[in-house]
Every structure is written in C-alpha cells, then in structure tokens.
Structure 1
Amino acid sequence: MFDVNELKEKVLNGYKVTKEDAMNLIDVPLEDLTSAADEIRKSFCQNRFDACMLINVKSGRCSENCKFCAQSGHYDTDIDIYPLLSKEELKERSLAIYNSGFKRISYVASGRKVTKKDFEIMADLIEELKEENSDIKICVSLGLLTKDQISTLNEVGVDRIHNNLESSRNYFKEICTTHSYDEKLDTIEMIHSENVMICSGGIFGMGENFEDRIDLALQLREFGVKSIPINVLNPIKGTPVENNEILSNDETCRIIAIFRFINPDAYIRMAGGRALLGDNGRNAFQSGANAGILGNMLTTPGVELDNDLELLEELGFEITYSIEGL
C-alpha cells in the first residue's frame, strides 16, 4: 500500500520524486497529502513568501491563439486594448508599487514577441529603475525571446524572466497551435544558459488530466525552475473555454501539493484565478504554496490587497525578496 508519509520523509532527505511516485499521489486522501506537502514546504522554504505585483504593459491584439487568453486577437473579448505604455507612465506605476512597500514588480506584455522599439524602451526603463533603487526586483514576461534579448535583460538587471509552459508537451497542442512547445522550451533553455532566474508554470482546468500536470511539474524540475505560477482557469466569455467548469478548491490544492512533492524547494506561486477559489487561497497556502501575485491580474480582478496581507500574516508567512533558493 502506498504511504504518503514515507514518501514525504524520503523527499525531506533529498529524494527526487519519480513520475510513478507522483501518480500515486493522485489517490491519497487530500488532507494527508496537503499536510505532508506543507511539511515539505516548511522544511525547504520555511515561512518565506515571495510576492509580486503585475503591470500589464501592453494589452490585447496578440497574434497567438491560446484558448484561455482574453488578449488573443483571435477571440472577441471585452478587455482594454492599448500599445506599450510610455516609459514615463511605466516608471510612475512602478514607483507607486515600490513606494507602497512591494519590491517585486512584473512587466507583462501581450504578443508572441516584443518589437525592437518596445524592447529598447523596456530595457532602458529597467536599467534606470535599478540604478535609482538598488533593492527593486524586476521580472518580465515578454513572450518568445532571443538569446541577445535575454543577455540584454540580464545586463540591465532583470531578476527573473517568465515564460509559462502552460501544460505538458502532450496537451499543449490542445491549448495553442500558433507556436510550439519546443519554442517555449528553447526560450527557457536560453534563459537557463544565461543564468537568469526562470519563472514558469501552467494553467489548470483546460481539460488536461493529472498525468499532464505531473509531466509539467517534472519538466519544470528538469530546468531547475524555482518560481512556478499555478493559474486556475478563469473562463473568459468569448474564448473557446468560456464554458469550462472552474476547478474546485480541493482539486487545486491537490495540484499544488503534488507540485510541492516534485519541486520541494520552489516558490509555488498562486497566480491567476485565485479569487475564484472561495477562500482567497487559504487552503492553497496550507497545501504547499508559498508565493503569490498580489493585486489585480492582467485582465481580471484579483484579491483585495488588505485581505491578502491579513491572510498571509494569519498563516505565519513573511514576505521577503531574497533570491535565496531561486
């Protein structure tokens, strides 16, 4: 009979969970699984909580057909559409977040790739912000990047580059057909080769099964990813998945716990869709998650910031911006 506590003890002693191990976790009673996962989180990460806040720097008209995305130009959705914000506005928004006490900011631009002009504006801004504020942390999500672009981002002080794999290789083709899984892997490999921290995770509730989820978790471990966003699908009207059923809180917690077993020292980040869970992520943060996007998402509301801060304090987390372990 499979013993989750036996596997937990092995992980605590440095064992790497296999796919067979992870598949066994699918049927473990949820309370036993999440409790064990939270022990692993406490052992490897203590009570450190990595928080970031997003700025949607360029919205809509994306050429890609990702089925979940309200910003795809393939679908008729009710969102704000605008080109890259000016350098002045980006700096003003960034400093507003920074001066309110939150030091990690993530710039997210819609589109397969950023233009040369937009990239130069972003790079100049980041370099300026880092020179003026030594402790500010800047992350970027700019689509598929070249090696030279990644090198430039490293040089100007970007702390982390985001590129979600979204799902397993096997299921990705059901999500998007305008770019390939290998293109994403190539970008992540280049980020890895430049020694820049990687942020990469997935979106769940797209119709994938638990094997797909486990394959994704194992792929992320292979690249040594230490910041793993967990997005719960928010079915947006006008997208092909607008009628998908929202994942239950319990299923979300099982995903998180399994990811924690496979990636014991990672920051597992509650991202999009957390507000749909009914408890603002309380159960998720007791199932192995230890990071989150605070404030609003790209095109949908998030959890009220004051509620988040109160919850994190109640659960004993301390917001930190250390790069230790990342």
Structure 2
Amino acid sequence: MTLGQRVIDGYVLTKEEALNILHTEDKELLTLINEAYHVRYHYYQNKVKLNMILNAKSGLCAEDCGYCGQSVKANTGCSQYALVDEQQLVKGAGAAVEHRIGTYCIVMSGRKPTNREVDRVTNAVETIKEKYPTLKICACLGLTNDEQAKKLKAAGVDRYNHNINTSERYHDEVVSTHSYQDRVNTIEIMKNNHISPCSGVICGMGETDEDIVNMAFALKEINADSIPVNFLHAIKGTKFEDKDELTPNKCLKILALFRLVNPTKEIRVSGGREVNLRSLQPLSLYMANSIFVGDYLVTNGQPNEEDYQMIQDLGFEIETNAFTNDPSLIES
C-alpha cells in the first residue's frame, strides 16, 4: 500500500518519517508529489480555493519580526497608513467577488488591534455579509482577547489568521517582542469562540529541517483548519534580507510534508511562492488546494490572469461561491 493511501486510511506519520520526506532525493520527487496528490485529491479533488488580501493597515508596527517589511525596526520604505475606513473594506470585498475569490482576508499591521479598530472591522464585515452572504471573511488583526473575538464572531467573521510562523525552538531567532505562546493563545481564543483557526508558517528563515517538521506537527496539534505555507521573500531592509536558503524542489518537499501530516486541512501555497518556486509553481497545486491571488502585504504577487491560466492548464477548477459569476451583485 502506498504512503498516500495509508494516510487516507488514518495512518499518522512519525516525525522521523516526516523528516525523511524533506530528505527525499530529487530523483524521487515526482513520486513524493504523487503520494501527496493522492491525499489532496481524496479530500479536495482538483478544486483550488482562491484567497485575496487587503492590507487594511500598513507599517508602523512595533514588533521586531525579522521577515517583516512593516516593522519599525526595518528600513524598507513600505507604505504607512492607519486602518482604512469601512467603505474601503467593503469595496475590497466587492473586488474579491469580482475576481472569483472564496475568502477575503482583512489584514492589519501591529501587535494587536484597539477596540475602536475592531469595531470598524466588524461594522464593515456586517455590511459585507449583507451584500455578499457567501463570501468567507478572514480577519488577521494580531493578538486579540476574548471580548474582541466575540465581536468578530457576532459580525460574521468566518476565520481568523494568526501564524505560528516558525517552530517554538526557533521562535526567538525570528522575533523577541512576543512569544510563541502568545500566538498559540490567540488561535485558541478564536477556537473557543467558534471562529475557524487559520495558522501557518514561513520557511526559509534559517530554521532546520527538524524545525519544519515540528511546525507541521504543531499545527496538527493546534488543529488549524487552514494552513498557509509561506516561503521567505527576503525584503531589503529587514533582518532576513540576505537569506536565500530555498530551492523550488525544497519548497515542493515542504508542501508534501504539510499535506501528508495534515491530510484533511486546507493547505495554501502562500507568500513567496513566485520567487521561490518560480517555474515549478504549477506542481505546488498537486499538494496545496488553496492559493493567494494578487499582491501580498508589502510584496507583489503575479498577475491574477497568470494564476487563473495556471489552474486551467493543470485541468483544475476554481472553487467559486455561488454568486461570484453574477455581475449584478458587484458594485463598482
């Protein structure tokens, strides 16, 4: 029996087996991809979920995350602005619908939101849900408390993103202004309030293969519904500006690892895919069933049309909401 079928049948990989996935010889890479694709197809067939980010508040973040161009510790010249108004948040949702996006992600820079900022987001989400009732809303606002989570849930927020980013062992090499447990606590607050947890990683920041394995198993333990797998896009002016540790093949092995360790979960190939996977991007969708379309926070993605063409060329299908092809529901 193949590894993929064993995983479908309920087998849980050991950490040693997971590490061996990352050490797969390149000549065996297509076999590994096929095993992971077998699992992906079992749960998601050939459908691809599309996600879009709105950078709703940019820059001026007091945290010192080594990868981030929005930190005040970085010298990147990124845009700096306060939380946009409700009208812009709603307009962004309309753009998401127009581009056949399934999940619209409202992202804020900063350690944590103020209550006033949460109120602005929740007011906008209520309007979005009235206009586009099946559009999924993901909020990414930083560290939150129970009261704020309850407001988000009541407004209609479907999912909350707060990445663990790296392993617990390596965390202090990435950021010193908050702890690994701070991040886990935020995810647990969302779960306790019945908001779907989204949590992922950034690979290529100097972590070991053992760290990557531990990330995959940590997210399994957290039971994150959606797992964005980011590959470091080194930004000039950040602590990690000179890191260039990934190859396209290594990225594919990482995606196979996350699919086989978290077989039933939405695995999203995320930030940095364009610069790290390069011409091998299409192969990532044999393991990941979800992607971001458009630009990221302070880095550019590839044109939407190239993503749509990639999906079509693979013979895959965009997983659309029922209303997204009805232009009468989209406001200019």
Range into which the TM-score falls when normalised by the shorter chain: over 0.9
> What corresponds to 1:32 in structure 2?
31
Q: Does 1:18 align with 2:14?
A: yes
> What corresponds to 1:283 in structure 2?
283
Q: Which runs of 5+ in 2 are unaligned?
A: 322-332
Distance 1:58 1:280 in 2: 32
- Tell me whether 229-238 or 87-96 shows the greater mean CA deviation: 87-96
Distance 2:33 2:63 in 1: 36
Question: What amino acid is aligned across from residue 160 of structure 2 in structure 1?
Answer: I
TM-score in terms of structure 2 length: 0.92
Distance apart, 1:84 and its partner CA:
0.6
Question: What amino acid is aligned across from residue 264 of structure 2 in structure 1?
Answer: D
> What corresponds to 1:265 in structure 2?
264
Distance apart, 1:128 and its partner CA:
1.4
Distance 1:32 1:101 in 2: 32
Contact 1:23–1:211 (Cα < 8 Å) also in 2: yes
Distance 1:106 1:257 in 2: 25
Aligned pairs, number: 317
Question: What amino acid is aligned across from residue 79 of structure 2 in structure 1?
Answer: D
Question: What amino acid is aligned across from residue 284 of structure 1 in structure 2?
Answer: S
Question: What amino acid is aligned across from residue 59 of structure 2 in structure 1?
Answer: G
Distance apart, 1:280 and its partner CA:
6.6
Distance apart, 1:91 and its partner CA:
1.7
> What corresponds to 1:138 in structure 2?
137
- Tell me whether 83-92 or 259-268 shows the greater mean CA deviation: 83-92
Q: Does 1:317 align with 2:316?
A: yes
Distance 1:74 1:49 in 2: 37
> What corresponds to 1:217 in structure 2?
216
SS at match of 1:217: helix
Moved over 6 A (4+): none
Distance 1:130 1:246 in 2: 42
Distance apart, 1:35 and its partner CA:
1.6
Contact 1:104–1:321 (Cα < 8 Å) also in 2: no
Distance 1:208 1:42 in 2: 30
Question: What amino acid is aligned across from residue 107 of structure 1 in structure 2?
Answer: I
Contact 2:90–2:127 (Cα < 8 Å) also in 1: no
Question: What amino acid is aligned across from residue 24 of structure 1 in structure 2?
Answer: N
The CA deviation string for residues 285-322 of structure 1, in whole angstroms up to 9 with x for no partner, is 13x11100001111111011001001111213222257
Q: Does 1:204 align with 2:197?
A: no
SS at match of 1:213: helix
SS at match of 1:63: coil
Distance apart, 1:82 and its partner CA:
0.6
Question: What amino acid is aligned across from residue 231 of structure 2 in structure 1?
Answer: V
Distance apart, 1:152 and its partner CA:
1.3
Distance 1:295 1:269 in 2: 14
Question: What amino acid is aligned across from residue 305 of structure 2 in structure 1?
Answer: D
The CA deviation string for residues 85-139 of structure 1, in whole angstroms up to 9 with x for no partner, is 1112222222222234324210000000011211110011101111232112111
Distance 1:80 1:68 in 2: 16
> What corresponds to 1:304 in structure 2?
303
Closer/same/farther in 2, CA of residues 101 and 10 from structure 1, 3 Å limit: closer
SS at match of 1:279: helix
Q: Does 1:8 align with 2:4?
A: yes
Cα RMSD of the aligned pairs, angstroms, is 1.5
Contact 2:22–2:250 (Cα < 8 Å) also in 1: no
> What corresponds to 1:236 in structure 2?
235
Contact 2:62–2:111 (Cα < 8 Å) also in 1: yes
Distance apart, 1:200 and its partner CA:
0.7
1:153-164 correspondence to structure 2 within 5 Å: 153-164=152-163
Distance 2:320 2:156 in 1: 15
TM-score in terms of structure 1 length: 0.93
